[in-house]
Amino acid sequence: MRVAHLIMVHKNPAQVHRLLTALAHESFDFYVHVDSSVDISEYHSLLHLPRVQFTKRRFAMRWASYRFTSAIFECVRDILLSGIKYDFINLLSGQDYPIKPAETIYQFLANHQGYSFLSFEGEDSAWWQHARTRIEQYHTTYFKFRGQYILQNILNSLLPKRQFPLPYDLYGGSDGSWWTMTAECAAYLVDFIDRHSKLRIFSLFTWGSDEFLVATILMNSPFKASIINENYRYIDWSEGAANPKTLTVDDFGKLAQAHKLFARKFDVTRDAHILNLIDQALIRQQPRRVAARR
């Protein structure tokens, strides 16, 4: 079994180096996407690590815009075209970190081949009650021009509510951005986007499409039965902000007890000691079995 880890990066090269080192495994390959607005020379040292390479293409990404989602799709496409047969593609950010040994993560995936892991909620959930405006209203986050939000407000005051361009049930959630899926599932996702130009155009004017587009496509696909509603990431939204809490040493107890494989997010400029604790107490130990919750 072989796994491709796609890591989306925009800052803290030393932290990304730690992530790659902590996750090193002979069956893991790493594809690092460095945002095109960042000086990539600061990341060249990563290429000295085993099985690490930069993605074939680089994209400029804007938070909460379709630029981020599209960049992921294109990087997945290049991984699928690499000529290497992967069983899974695992999406991470440069601020993620494993909270289980790499061998435990490998064994978990080896024991669940054929399944994909992502987190989502149905349309009747509390999340969708406030997230529906991401679809029903026009958002100009994809673009950058003077007066864009004035124009956005005018459009939404004059035009009727938008509707998702496909007759699909909607799925999504605050943890929906990060996932682990089979290569077959990933290939379906990329091909689906290629074949549905109306969906691509619609997505240009959405907000936070990374949190609902993948789940909506796949949960209305032939792969639905093989999708487990759990992405195995520990993410703390307790602060009620648009971004999850940055984890520190105060969160270590919860991380140690978590039935997860990864956690996010971390920032070594705020607290590097939490990663030291994870390395010492959670990663440098004998691998433990993690069972999938179906």
CA–CA separation, 255 and 258 (whole Å):
5
192, 76 Cβ separation under 8 angstroms: no
Give the separation between CA 263 and CA 252, rounded to whole angstroms.
11
Question: Rounded distance, CA 73 to CA 194, Å?
Answer: 10
Residue with tokens 């130990």: 285
What pTM was estimated for this model as a whole? Answer: 0.95
Mean pLDDT for 203-221 is 98
Domain boundaries, the chain: 3-129+164-283
Residue 97 contacts residue 263 (beta carbons within 8 Å): yes
Look up the CATH number of domain 3-129+164-283. Answer: 3.90.550
98 three-state secondary structure: strand
Length of the chain: 294
pLDDT band at 294 (very low <50, low <70, confident <90, very high): low
Helix (H, G, I), strand (E, B) or coil at 4: strand
pLDDT bucket at 5, cuts 50 / 70 / 90: very high
Is the peptide bond prior to 265 cis by the omega test (within 30 degrees of 0)?
yes
- pLDDT tens-digit readout, 29-72: 999 999 999 999 999 999 999 999 999 999 999 999 999 999 99
